Amino acid sequence: MTEQTLAKLLNIDQTINPPHIAASGDWVLAHYAHLEPAVSALQPQLLSNAVFDLSQLGTLDTAGATLLVKLIGKEKVLELERIAPTLPLERRILLQTVSAALQDYVASPVQHQPGIVTELLANIGKSVESFWQNLVALIGFIGLTMEALFATLLRPARWRMTSLVANLQQIGLNAVPIIAMLTFMVGAVIAFLGSTVLSTFGASIFTVQLVAFSFLREFAVLLAAILMAGRTASAFTAQIGLMKANEEIDAIQAMGLNPVELLVLPRVLALLVALPMMTFIGMISGILGGIVVCALTLDISPTMFLTIMQNSVGFEHFWVGMIKAPVFAFLIAIIGCLEGFKVSGSAESVGEHTTSSVVHSIFVVILLDAVAALFFMEMGW
């Protein structure tokens, strides 16, 4: 833009008193780079009684309005009706709106980087607060689920048998191969490591008790629960979260149906049935893996293995493992469904809460298993 063109947009006459400043032409973003230095240089030199003529303005956008407000002053912009009576109403409103926006804008102060101790304490506080909020939400959701369960328990017409059977097939039947293979391999590894260590003391025969105790009491239910947490809790969260994002849950409520009864109960009941069965299959597969390793490396035949296990391993160890399965199943299903209801509506939120459901489920399972192990040890069971 040449100086002649700039003079057409901003004509200044300081030979008269008070000085007159006429703005004409198009005050738009395309001219901003040339107008802004001229306005900035002129602004400190302006007298308070300067007169502005805006009658010859052409096109005006927010960029040009910002420069005019800067040139005229925020106080005089409020008096545009008096000092520029010929200015169209829509342009007065534009200038006053831009002036108000500039007045409300406050630059954020420079934030100092907190120290390591302060940041550590802040992160600990956030973690504790998040843990407390999640715990309260979990307890409340358990209450809603139990309420829906008791409300439908004596009303067979409200049972969702089709959904229950479908979830049971997806959760239980489809997971049998991976549960069996995983526990078989872990049982073989435990038997191999146990025999390697115990053989140095001449006690290889106790590998049978090691495999039997570990799978009846701990590994079968723990591996099945962790696998269900990664496989099933994430599926629950993704399914319900996608329904939440697509506003299908709002539609269910609009039809007068209870989403907890319709979506949560069939999944919880299906996992309550499936996980004990998966635990039993895990026990059998893990012990079978131990039998194979003992037969191949220790010359302990399957008959001898089963005889030793029958004589030295009590039946109460089986029940210790089976008792934990329904508790783990209930909490895994509740956490998975709860995280699904927390989805805010975006694909990113679905991914975040799916990850959160897996992490929380595995954490709860391992924590409860540790507490249960200490309890049963103290009780002598």
CA distance 208 to 195: 9
The three-point CA angle 157-330-232 to 5° equals: 95
pLDDT of 166 reads 87
pLDDT, tens digit (0-9, with 9 covering 90-100), for 176-193: 999 999 999 999 999 988
Q: Give the residue among 187, 179, 181 at the shortest CA–CA distance from 294.
A: 187
The secondary structure element, H or E, covering residue 87 is none
pLDDT digits (tens, 9 = 90+) for 77-94: 777 666 676 677 777 777
Higher pLDDT, 17 or 371: 371
User: Rounded to the nearest 5°, which phi and psi values hold at 246?
Assistant: -85, 5
- Of residues 244 and 277, more confidently modeled: 277
Decide if 53 contacts 23 (C-beta within 8 A): yes
Answer whether residue 253 shows pLDDT above 80. yes
Whether the Cβ atoms of residue 268 and residue 337 lie closer than 8 Å to each other: yes
Q: Greater confidence, 170 or 284?
A: 284
Q: Which pTM does this prediction carry?
A: 0.67
Q: Is residue 255's pLDDT more than 90?
A: no
Give the pLDDT mean for 245-253: 84
**The two structure tokens encoding residue 281:** 């299959």
* 3-state class (DSSP) for residue 155: coil
211 pLDDT more than 50: yes
**pLDDT tens per residue across span 107-130:** 555 566 777 888 888 889 998 998
- How far apart CA 243 and CA 265 sit, in angstroms, is 16
Q: List Cβ neighbours of 275 (8 Å cut-off, separation of 6 or more).
A: 224, 225, 228, 325, 326, 328, 329, 332
- Residue pair 26/58 in contact (Cβ under 8 Å)? The answer is yes
- Highest mean pLDDT: which range of 17-21, 166-170, 341-345: 166-170
Mean pLDDT of the chain: 82
311: pLDDT confidence band, cut at 50, 70 and 90? confident
Q: How confident is the model at residue 45 (pLDDT cuts 50, 70, 90)?
A: low
* C-alpha dist (Å) from residue 297 to 205, 227, 292, 377: 11, 29, 9, 32
Q: What is the pLDDT of residue 4?
A: 46
- Residues 317-375: tens digit of each pLDDT: 888 889 999 999 999 999 999 988 888 877 788 888 888 889 999 999 999 999 988 88
